[in-house]
Amino acid sequence: MNILLAPDSFKDSLTALEVCECIERGIKNYKNDIIVNSLPMADGGEGTVRSLVDATNGRIVNKVVTGPLGGEAKAFYGLLGNENTAVIEMASASGLPLVPKEKRDPSKTTTYGTGELIKAVLSHNVEKIILGIGGSATTDAGVGMAQALGVEFFDKNNNEIGFGGGNLKFIDKINMNNLDKRIEDVEILVACDVDNPLYGKQGAAYVYSPQKGADQEMVEELDNNLRHFNKVVNKYLNKNVNQIEGSGAAGGLGAGLVAFLDAELKQGIEIVLDIVNFDQRLSEVDLIITGEGMLDGQTINGKTPIGVAKRARKHKIPVIAIAGSLGKGVEKVLKKGIDSYFSIVDKPDSLDEIINRSDKLLADLSEQIIRTYMLGKKS
């Protein structure tokens, strides 16, 4: 019996590697000679660096960068085991949790720190950068990121513009001559699981900036600024980034990464599965156990369990999903390759208590799952 564990993290509770360790412990409690291989997963959101570093025996590097409001922020990036690939979570440098609620203002916040992380990983001579762009505090279309890498944005008086989405309207000229030349030799893959355009009612300002502190007036201003940004980019770089699916992700950072760094936007879980050579690891696997903190109807939209299940289905390998909790519409996952799903919750309890007991709950449930599965095999 050969089981592959390929879960995401359980947010605020367990890393993906810790989830694997708990599941394996439960399986081994039942039968110690079952072969268990662990492959921590992520879908480009929070925990992607940790999961890929753990999956490839890589390392995490800490770095002080410019935070969303211009002060210092303690960020990090990952170098995978082959040392040829770097992984960045933009949220560690430019994320919403870095900004106190009373100071959230996407007209002022910047992605400059994300650009500093990109610059830092270039010093390792990497060939590929994977960039997760969820959880941003910004709506600056990646201009701050580009500034950190040498791109210059001038107003009509030939002065460089300041930080934040509120300053996009002042861009009159773009100078790419001082962009860090090392970018040319690096493939940049952006983990992007939304298809929002840069501007418009479904764009970055209208859909995402309210949660970053924008009122209705600011939303409209930011949307107009993003429209202006697109016009200037089209003029100087001959790129209409608004037409690219996902260009509105992370306050338009998706657009900026394509415009200035020629990045490719892809579904996060697909990037991760390819990086860890997932399909090649399925030889002789009898069962896959995946999971995430919350399994619900939204899971089918590019989350880890479905990405894993789609690949497993090609090889006719059954997939069981384990979750911290089950939500509305969870039954939809059964049509997407998940064969059965379970929650670790064993009795009515507070969220804090469930989180505190999550390691034991996960191990206990895993033991019962494998017992049931083996009963079916015997029959």
User: Each residue of 247-269: pLDDT tens digit?
Assistant: 999 999 999 999 999 999 998 99
Strands in 16-168 per DSSP E: 35-38, 59-66, 72-79, 85-89, 128-132, 152-154
- Say which residues have a Cβ less than 8 Å from residue 120's Cβ, sequence separation at least 6: 61, 63, 77
**What fold does the segment set 48-268 form as a domain?**
Glycerate kinase, domain 2 (3.90.1510)
Lowest mean pLDDT among 15-24, 39-48, 89-98, 327-336: 39-48
The three-point CA angle 331-333-335 to 5° equals: 95
| pLDDT score of 195 | 84
Q: How many whole angstroms separate alpha carbon 302 and alpha carbon 268?
A: 8
| pLDDT score of 43 | 87
User: Does the pLDDT at position 234 exceed 70?
Assistant: yes
User: Does the pLDDT at position 132 exceed 90?
Assistant: yes
Q: How many whole angstroms separate alpha carbon 141 and alpha carbon 138?
A: 8
- Say which residues have a Cβ less than 8 Å from residue 235's Cβ, sequence separation at least 6: none
Tell me the average pLDDT across 25-39: 95
The CATH number assigned to the domain with range 2-41+285-378 reads 3.40.50.10350
Q: Which has more confidence, 284 or 194?
A: 284
| pLDDT score of 376 | 81
| pLDDT score of 200 | 95
What is the pLDDT of the chain when averaged over all its residues?
Answer: 94
User: Each residue of 56-111: pLDDT tens digit?
Assistant: 999 999 999 999 999 999 999 999 998 899 999 999 999 999 999 999 999 999 99
The conformation of residue 238, written as its DSSP 8-state character, comes to -
Tell me the average pLDDT across 299-325: 94
User: Does the pLDDT at position 379 exceed 70?
Assistant: no
pLDDT band for position 361 (cuts 50, 70, 90) = very high
The conformation of residue 160, written as its DSSP 8-state character, comes to B
Tell me the average pLDDT across 47-60: 93
pTM: 0.87
User: Does the pLDDT at position 170 exceed 80?
Assistant: yes
**For the chain, what are the domain ranges?**
2-41+285-378, 48-268
Do the strands 2-5 and 35-38 form a parallel or antiparallel pair, or are they unpaired?
Answer: parallel
Bridge partners, 35 (sequence order): 2
pLDDT band for position 44 (cuts 50, 70, 90) = confident
Q: Which has more confidence, 347 or 159?
A: 159
Strands in the chain per DSSP E: 2-5, 35-38, 59-66, 72-79, 85-89, 128-132, 152-154, 173-175, 187-191, 264-266, 287-295, 319-326, 340-343
Q: What percent of the chain has pLDDT over 70?
A: 100
Give the residue from 163, 165, 47, 170 showing the smallest Cα distance to 116. 163
Do the strands 319-326 and 35-38 form a parallel or antiparallel pair, or are they unpaired?
Answer: unpaired
| pLDDT score of 156 | 97
